[in-house]
Structure 1
Amino acid sequence: MKPSTDLSSLTSTLEENMNLSDLGITKHFKSGETIVSENAPVRSIPIVTAGSVKVMQSDDTYKEMVLYYLQPGETCIMSFLSGLYHDASKVKAVAEEDSEVLFIPVDKIHDLIREHPEWLNYIFRIYHKRFIELLSVVDAVAFKKMDERLLQFLQKRCEVMETDTLAMTHDQLAQELGTAREVISRLLKKMEEKGLVRLGRNKITLM
């Protein structure tokens, strides 16, 4: 997993100048483990230091949709804002692969903002990136057909995982895109006929 170059460089600078690792606790998560729970109090801000994390939101029927991915050097801006204003988490964060996360207590955030301008720059950079990604999600849901959304999702996930082949079931895809398994299976079959993907047993390869 390669982090975003600019953010990785900025995070390294923060660690160098502020000793971020000394301010919090580092924890390790296996793929699929929940890092931040939806509607739970946010007492610390997570910063991914290794691996990758997907951030999701669910509706009243418990259907989930992936909003964006966190790479090394990135934090979840939704968790940051919830922690800053003592609100419950509006999202769920799950390890996409085995990951390492640094948790910085919320009570240290105000001091970081006040004493280190570079920390505020980091937060604004993250906020801008997440805002663009969320606009993309809104655009996909509002204006794109499900086949376009499915292909875009597969491309993004392959980019994050740095692979052309994803180990995913049709059920998992349906859950993360908020639709039915039958819809995903039908669309994947059509995509395979067009030469866009190659389907295997619980595997999907982008062509």
Structure 2
Amino acid sequence: MNSDVAIALKKVGFEEKLIEEIIQFGRLKKVKAQNVVISPGSKNEEVPIVLSGLLMVMTKDHQGNEYFLYNLEGGETCAMSITCCLEGKKNAFYVIAEEDSELWMVPLGHMDTWVQKYLSFRKFVFGSYQTRFDELLAAVDSMAFMKMDERLYKYLLDKKQATGSYVIAKTHQQIANELNTSRVVVSRLLKKLEKEDKIEQKRNRIEIL
């Protein structure tokens, strides 16, 4: 198993010595689809690096409305998780596995050392911050300036990009929750996209044409 982890970490661009230390001090965590990886209000002592699968990062406002923030794919980590760990704060977000996923959990105590000691790890952490910041700006821009039908189609295209599949295995209610709208609105707009030959709907899944 460690050889598979080493191969995955090497693809990220880590040095051999760093990979050895990450394997030595980290641990494997397997998560089934739809299971919670990080809960809101919790404190973490570990930061996940995604080896395989797909995670979804969500947040809630004070009224309990849910908002989709971004996905985490293989070779990525959660910058928000790193920040909460380093500052000892409780998580204001939560992470759910969209697919069966394998994570390598990195203990917080070694991260400061690795950032100073290894250039590749420093680039990895800072690059994660930049990527997540860009995605959050895109999410804010989408909510503020795009019509709901444009947001929905962008959401579907983003899911295709993240999963590498033209088939989106989501119910109308799940999509509505992630876009903070109603199932009725999502169903109506999906029918509109289907009439425009952009998608094809099947039971609990949507195919992008």
TM-score, scaled to structure 2: 0.90
Partner of residue 69, structure 1: 71
Choose from 23, 48, 51 the match for 1:49: 51
Is contact 2:13–2:120 with CA below 8 Å preserved after alignment? no
- C-alpha distance in 2 between matches for 1:196 and 1:8: 37
The letter of the residue matching 2:17 is N
Please list, as runs of the form range in 1=range in 2, the aligned pairs for 1:173-188 lying within 5 A after superposition: 173-188=175-190
In the other structure, the counterpart of 2:88 is 86
Q: What SS does structure 1 have at the residue aligned with 2:194?
A: helix
- Say which of 120, 135, 140 aligns to 1:133: 135
Partner AA of 1:170 in structure 2: H
Distance 1:109 1:204 in 2: 40
* Root-mean-square deviation (Å): 1.6
Amino acid at match of 2:14: T
> By how many angstroms is 1:171 displaced?
0.4
The whole-number CA distance in structure 2 between the counterparts of 1:141 and 1:8 is: 35
Q: Distance in 2 between matches of 1:50 and 1:22?
A: 19
Q: CA deviation at 1:12?
A: 4.2
Cα distance in 2 for partners of 1:170, 1:63 equals 17
Task: Write the distance in 2 (CA, Å) between the matches of 1:166 and 1:120.
Answer: 34
Quote how far apart the aligned CAs of 1:112 are. 1.7
Q: Deviations over 1:113-161 (max 9, x none)?
A: 2322321111111111111111110100010011010000001111111
Q: Does 1:13 align with 2:14?
A: yes
Give the SS at the match of 2:105: strand
CA distance in 1, matches of 2:9, 2:179: 29
TM-fit CA distance, 1:51: 0.9
DSSP 3-state at the match of 1:65: strand
Contact 2:59 2:68 in 1 (8 A): yes
1:1-207 matched pairs, under 5 angstroms? 11-14=12-15, 16-18=16-18, 19=20, 20-207=22-209
Aligned to 1:32, what secondary structure does the other structure show? Answer: coil
Q: Calculate percent identity across the aligned residue pairs.
A: 34
Count of residue pairs brought into register by the alignment: 200
Structure 1 runs (4+) greater than 3 angstroms displaced: 7-10
Structure 1 unpaired stretches of 5+: 1-6
Asked if the contact 1:10–1:122 (Cα under 8 Å) also holds between the matched residues in 2, the reply is: no
| Counterpart AA for 2:98 | E
Q: Give the SS at the match of 2:157.
A: helix
